[in-house]
Amino acid sequence: MADRSPAPDTPELRERWGAFEFTESYRAKADKAIARYPEGRQRSAVMPLLDLAQRQVGEETDTQGWLPLPVIEYVADYLDMPVIRVLEVATFYFMYNLKPVGKYHVQVCGTTPCMLRGSDGLFETCKQRGMKKGHVSEDGLWTLTEVECMGNCATAPMVQINDDNYEDLTPERLDGILDALAKGESPKTGTQEPGRHTSEPANALSSLPEMVDANHDYRKDW
Partner 1 sequence: MPKVTVDGQEIQVPDGATVLQACELAGKEIPRFCYHERLSIAGNCRMCLVEVKPGPPKPQASCALPATEGQEIRTDTEMVKTAREGVMEFLLINHPLDCPICDQGGECDLQDQSMAYGRGATRYEENKRAVTEKYMGPLIKTVMTRCIHCTRCVRFSEEIAGVDEIGAVGRGEDMEITTYLEQAAEHELSANVIDLCPVGALTSRPYAFEARPWELKKTLSIDVSDAVGANIRLDSRGREVMRALPRINDDVNEEWISDKARYQVDGLSKRRLDTVFMRKRGKLQAASWDEAFKAIARAKPGKDIAAIAGDMVDCETMFAAKALLKACGSNLIEGRQTGMDYDVSNLAAVNFNSTFAGIETADAILIVGSHIRWEAPLVNVRIRKAVKRGAKVFVIGSRWDTTYPAEFLGEDLSVLSKLPKEAAEAFKGAERPAIVMGGAALAKGALGAGLAFAETYGLAKDGWNGFNVLHFSAARMGGLMLGFAQKGGMKDIAAAKPKVVISLGADEMDFEPFADALKVYIGHHGDRGAHAADIILPGASYAEKDGTYVNTEGRVQFAEKAVFAPGDAREDWTILRALADALKVEVGFDSFAQLQAAMIAEVPALGEEGLADYGALPKADAKTMAEGTISAYPIKDFYLTNPIARASAVMQQCSSELLGSGELAEAAE
12 near partner 1, judged by CB under 8 A:
no
* Least gap, CB of 85 to partner 1 (angstroms): 6
Q: Could you tell me which stretch among 1-9, 51-59, 166-174, 183-191 binds partner 1 (CB under 8 A)?
A: 1-9
92 near partner 1, judged by CB under 8 A:
yes
Query: H-helix or E-strand containing 146?
Result: strand 142-147
Measured between alpha carbons, how far is 82 from 5 in angstroms, rounded to an integer? 18
9 near partner 1, judged by CB under 8 A:
yes
14 near partner 1, judged by CB under 8 A:
no
* Least gap, CB of 1 to partner 1 (angstroms): 8
Angle (CA) 184 59 36, round 5°: 125
* Least gap, CB of 46 to partner 1 (angstroms): 13
Q: What DSSP state is assigned to residue 164?
A: E
209 near partner 1, judged by CB under 8 A:
no
87 near partner 1, judged by CB under 8 A:
yes
Residue 76 near residue 118 (C-beta atoms within 8 A): no
Nearer to partner 1, 37 or 92 (CB): 92
Candidate list 44, 61, 91, 199; residue touching partner 1; CB under 8 A:
91
The binding track of 56-85 with respect to partner 1, each residue x by CB under 8 A or -, is -------------x-----------xxxxx
Residue 176 near residue 184 (C-beta atoms within 8 A): no
Strands 104-109 and 142-147: parallel
Residue 144 near residue 108 (C-beta atoms within 8 A): yes
| Length in residues, the chain | 222
Nearest to 166 by CA among 145, 195, 182, 187: 187
Nearest to 187 by CA among 207, 205, 171, 167: 167
Site size for partner 1, by CB under 8 A? 14
88 near partner 1, judged by CB under 8 A:
yes
Residue ranges that bind partner 1, judged by CB under 8 A: 1, 4-5, 9, 69, 81-85, 87-88, 91-92
